[in-house]
Amino acid sequence: MSQVKIFKQILYVIFLLLSISLASAANMTIQELIDSYDYGFNNGTINVTSQDDYMVDRDSDGTNDTLIINITTDAATTGTYNFIVEIMDKNEILINDTSKSITSSDKSANINFPSELLSKTKFNYSIRLSDNNGNLVFRKFNIESRTYLNYETGTNITKVTNENINNNFIRINLTTDSSQAITTNITVTLAYNSSTISKTEEETLSIGVQKVSIDFDNETIKSTHYNSNFTIDSVVMGNKIFDFNQNTSIYNYEDFAKTSYIKSVVDGRIDSNNNYLSEFFEINFTIEVKTVDSYTISYDLYDQFDNFVTNISKTQSLSIGTQKVQTLVNGSEIYKTRINGPYVLSFAKLAVGNKTKDIIFDAHTTNQSFYTDYERPPLPDLKVTLSILFNQTGNVTDITVNLSNVGTAPAFNVFLDIFDNITYTNNRSLSFMNTNEKVTYQFNITNSSNASLITVIADFDNLVDEINESNNIAQNTEVNITSELADQSKFFIKDTTGTNIAWFGDSGNIVLKGTLEQNSNFQRTSNFAFVIRNNANDVLIIENNGSMYIDGTLAENQGTITTDYNKNDFRIKNNGNLVINVNETGYVFLKGTLTQNGNP
């Protein structure tokens, strides 16, 4: 047979086995699948080589009364270990342990259980061993015990009944069969609506069958606010637990109430001016009053995520009978919390003075509502206005921003942001701004244009809760254009496209589109715009980009400008007075100033 054929047959067998395994797993229940897993553990420190279980009659009365689990190890050296046994008996787990120093000659340990704690004839148990530091060194699960048909079971409960004793008690009657005369605590637990009540009484039992009664008093029954069958969940007798899960008769807590109690809770919203915002959130209580007195109803209000909203307390005189108590939560207080409903009354308490008459935990969950459904408290209102003045001579934008609080409450931590549509950004801040307070800020942007879009925003991150958020932003819709220079008549110099690149004015000012270079050795280009020459030498050049180059220096704001009329100077006069003089050596004298990077 070829190797390929043999390989194919092996693959087929593997596939068939996997298919069978998967099919078996698919047919298992979850519990069966869990039980099929081996949870055993051994770290190599010590191993359990065998275990055994058996019963003995310790009190020599002819019936076994003690279960012993014997554990034998392979210990080669001396060491102290904690031996732990867990017995899975009916619906509970019994655990016992013992600590023992074992040696190579004494390798085993016994763990004992009183047989009266057992209820089955056969059970599974698990073994664990841990070292002195509590570290697990060995574990073995699901060891099956022997079968035990006859052993002392201690005290047993053979029957459970219940009855109403004149609306004063619910009595739980237990028929017990005790193998010994003992005095022990008996605890009965009743379950209802995911809650429980329990009652413990000390009882003396004689040998044989007898009835024991455990009474739940009327105040305990009233505290449940429950009207239906209770479930007798468990009975604990000494160290022994009995699980029953047995229903009682139907009981109504109101039949047992001898003192006043909260009968019901309802909620609603009050919007008296019909503006769709509620002034109050009302929570109303129906109280069944047994005695005339002054009662206080109190409660804490949370949301469903345990965020505290408020607490309310109201005192009111009530007469006997069914009475209504209205409590009001201020709507603006709810708004200030910014917490949405539904809201939960974590408790509701009815008291007379310092004496609690009734208390309900998780007393009521309200209808859905949002904090925005309620009237606003006094709030600030930040308002910004903006005015812009553009100086076309210096290409400077002057900005005036007015920030005011026109609301009904102070504002805290106010931030103002301003920016244009290119690169400019700036900000201001105030820690406190009172009502009707107004603050003015001045900003300026250099090298700007009258086409810049300026935006100013108060409270950009919306940290301040306000009456009106729409007036927090302003943008320039109109720019006032001004020139600070007084020149009326101007000698314009244009580039090759006919655009103004410089001017000399009659008030002694010069505006350049470009920049000025003094003491310059610049050589003009072929497409220069303007030149002043002396004896074939260039002393002043204005290039096509609006930049000016002079051989000398610039003198501005001259009180009096003089000139030598025998020289080849370039002169500008206003009413016979010199206002600009460029002498033949390239020195410039101005009555006014020279503006660079301007807008001629």
Residue 211 CA to chain centroid, in angstroms? 56
Q: Which CATH number fits domain 382-482: 3.40.50.300, 2.70.210.12, 3.40.50.720, 2.60.40.10?
A: 2.60.40.10
Burial of 148 (0-12, 13-18, 19+ CB in 10 A): middle
Q: What tokens does 62 get? A: 């002819």
What region, left, alpha or beta, does residue 565 occupy, with left being phi > 0 and alpha being psi -120 to 50 degrees? alpha
**Helix/strand/coil for 537:** strand
How much is the CA Rg of the chain, to the nearest whole Å? 49
Cα separation, 347 vs 503, whole angstroms:
85
How many residues appear in the chain? Answer: 600
- Largest distance between two CA atoms of the chain: 152
Q: What tokens does 181 get? A: 């005369």
Which pLDDT belongs to residue 89? Answer: 83
Select from 481, 479, 478, 460 the least CA-distant residue to 469: 460
Which pLDDT belongs to residue 91? Answer: 66
**Helix/strand/coil for 219:** helix
pTM greater than 0.85 (yes/no): no
Whether 41-144 shares its CATH topology with 261-373 is answered: yes
- Cβ-proximal residues to 86 (8 Å cutoff; 6+ apart), any chain: 93, 94, 95, 125, 126, 128
CA distances from 505 to 488, 490, 574, 590 (A): 7, 4, 9, 10
Select from 556, 506, 501, 548 the least CA-distant residue to 524: 548
Select from 165, 120, 186, 148 the least CA-distant residue to 57: 148
- What number of other Cβ atoms are within 10 A of residue 573's Cβ? 13
Cα angle 288-293-298, degrees, rounded to a multiple of 5: 65
- Cβ-proximal residues to 269 (8 Å cutoff; 6+ apart), any chain: 278, 280, 281, 282, 331, 369, 373, 374
**Are 39 and 141 within 8 A, CB to CB?**
yes
Say which CATH topology domain 41-144 has.
Answer: Immunoglobulin-like (2.60.40)
Say which CATH topology domain 261-373 has.
Answer: Immunoglobulin-like (2.60.40)
- Residue 303 φ then ψ, to 5°: -90, -175
Which pLDDT belongs to residue 280? Answer: 95
- 595 bridge partner residues: 511
Which pLDDT belongs to residue 3? Answer: 41
Report the number of secondary-structure helices (H) and strands (E) in the chain.
5, 42
Which pLDDT belongs to residue 449? Answer: 73
Cα separation, 104 vs 328, whole angstroms:
79
Cα separation, 246 vs 230, whole angstroms:
8
Say which CATH topology domain 156-256 has.
Answer: Immunoglobulin-like (2.60.40)
Burial 84-93 (b: 16+ CB within 10 A, else e): bbbbbbeeee
Which pLDDT belongs to residue 14? Answer: 47
Q: Provide the Cα torsion 11, 12, 18, 22; round to 10°.
A: 140
Residue 185 CA to chain centroid, in angstroms? 47
Q: State which residues of the chain have pLDDT below 70.
A: 1-38, 91, 392-394, 477-484
- 295 bridge partner residues: 316
Cα separation, 518 vs 551, whole angstroms:
6
Sequence ranges of the domains in the chain: 41-144, 156-256, 261-373, 382-482, 490-595
Cα separation, 373 vs 376, whole angstroms:
9
Cα separation, 512 vs 549, whole angstroms:
11
Strands 516-517 and 548-550: parallel
pLDDT tens, position by position, 61-116: 888 989 999 999 999 889 999 999 999 987 678 899 999 999 999 999 999 999 88
Which pLDDT belongs to residue 211? Answer: 95
Which pLDDT belongs to residue 479? Answer: 54
Q: What tokens does 344 get? A: 């939960």
What region, left, alpha or beta, does residue 395 occupy, with left being phi > 0 and alpha being psi -120 to 50 degrees? left
HSE, CB side, 13 Å, CA atoms: give it for residue 593: 8
